Amino acid sequence: MGKVKRKIEIPKLPPQALRTVAHHEAGHVAARAFTKLEIRHIREVSIVANARTWGRESAERSITFMTLHLQPKDLAWQEGLKLLLCELAGSAAGEKIDPIRESLPNDWREVSVAIEVYNNDKGSDYARAVRVCEIIARPEMPAHIVYEHAVKWTREMIEIPAVWAFIESLAERLLKERIISGEDPRLLSEMGALPPIWEYPEWERRLMPKQ
Report the half-sphere exposure of 170 (CA within 13 A, side-chain side).
37
Q: What pLDDT is attached to residue 120?
A: 56
| In contact, 82 and 150? CB cutoff 8 Å | no
What is the pLDDT averaged over residues 96-121? 86
Tell me how far CA of residue 205 lies from CA of 59, 68, 75, 152, 208, in angstroms.
Answer: 29, 20, 14, 15, 5
Q: What pLDDT is attached to residue 9?
A: 61
Counting residues of the chain whose pLDDT is more than 90, the rounded percentage is 76
Distance CA 24, CA 110 (A): 19
Q: Which residues pair with 141 in a beta bridge?
A: 138
Q: What pLDDT is attached to residue 4?
A: 45
What is the pLDDT averaged over residues 79-95? 96
Which among 81, 16, 11 has a CA at the least distance from the CA of 51?
Answer: 11
Distance CA 112, CA 130 (A): 9
**pLDDT tens string 116-128:** 876 655 568 999 9
Strands 42-46 and 179-181: antiparallel
Question: Three-state SS for 129?
Answer: helix
Q: For the sheet containing 56-59, what is the strand order?
A: 56-59, 42-46, 179-181
Q: What pLDDT is attached to residue 161?
A: 97
**pLDDT tens string 5-18:** 555 566 678 889 99
What is the pLDDT averaged over residues 184-188? 96
**Amino acid, single-letter form, for residue 175:** L
Cα 163 from chain centre? 13
Question: What is the rounded average pLDDT for all residues in the chain?
Answer: 90
What is the pLDDT averaged over residues 183-208? 92
| In contact, 112 and 101? CB cutoff 8 Å | no
Distance CA 88, CA 164 (A): 15
Q: What is the DSSP string of 69-89?
A: GGS-HHHHHHHHHHHHHHHHH
Which among 169, 151, 157, 168 has a CA at the least distance from the CA of 200?
Answer: 157
Q: Who contacts 128 (Cβ-Cβ below 8 Å, separation ≥6)?
A: 65, 83, 87, 122
Q: What pLDDT is attached to residue 10?
A: 66
**pLDDT tens string 33-63:** 999 999 999 999 999 988 778 889 989 999 9
